[in-house]
Amino acid sequence: MLLQKLSLILSLPLLALSARPKNAILLSEVRSLTLRGNGAKTTSRRVAPIPQLKCVSSKAVCDLFPIDVMRCTNQGSSYGSEDIEWSCTASLPEEFKLGSTEVICEGYSSPDDPYVLKGSCGVEYRLLLTDKGEQRYPDVANSGRWFSNGEGGTDWGGWLFAFIFLTVLGWILFSAWRNGTNGQNRVPGRGGNGGGWGGGGGGGWGPGWGPGNDPPPPYPGTKPDQGQQGWRPGFWTGLAGGAAAAYLAGNRNNRREERYPSQGWGAGPSSRSFASGSGSSSASNSPRYESTGFGSTRRR
pLDDT cut 70: percent of the chain above it: 55
Cα distance between residue 268 and residue 286, in whole Å: 24
Contacts 24+ apart (CB under 8 A), 8-11: none
Predicted pLDDT of residue 65 = 96
Predicted pLDDT of residue 201 = 44
Predicted pLDDT of residue 26 = 96
Of the pLDDT bands very low, low, confident and very high (cuts 50, 70, 90), residue 159 is: confident
Averaging pLDDT over each range in 75-79, 193-197, 251-255, 273-277, which range is the top one? 75-79
- Per the CB < 8 A criterion, the answer to whether 73 and 41 are in contact is no
Q: Is the pLDDT of residue 184 over 70?
A: no
Averaging pLDDT over each range in 140-154, 184-198, 255-269, which range is the top one? 140-154
pLDDT in tens, 104-145: 999 999 999 999 999 999 999 999 999 999 999 998 888 655
- Per the CB < 8 A criterion, the answer to whether 92 and 65 are in contact is yes
pLDDT in tens, 43-97: 999 999 999 999 999 999 999 999 999 999 999 998 889 999 999 999 999 999 9
pLDDT cut 90: percent of the chain above it: 42
In what helix (H) or strand (E) does residue 55 lie, and over which residues does it extend? strand 53-55
Three-class SS of residue 84?
strand
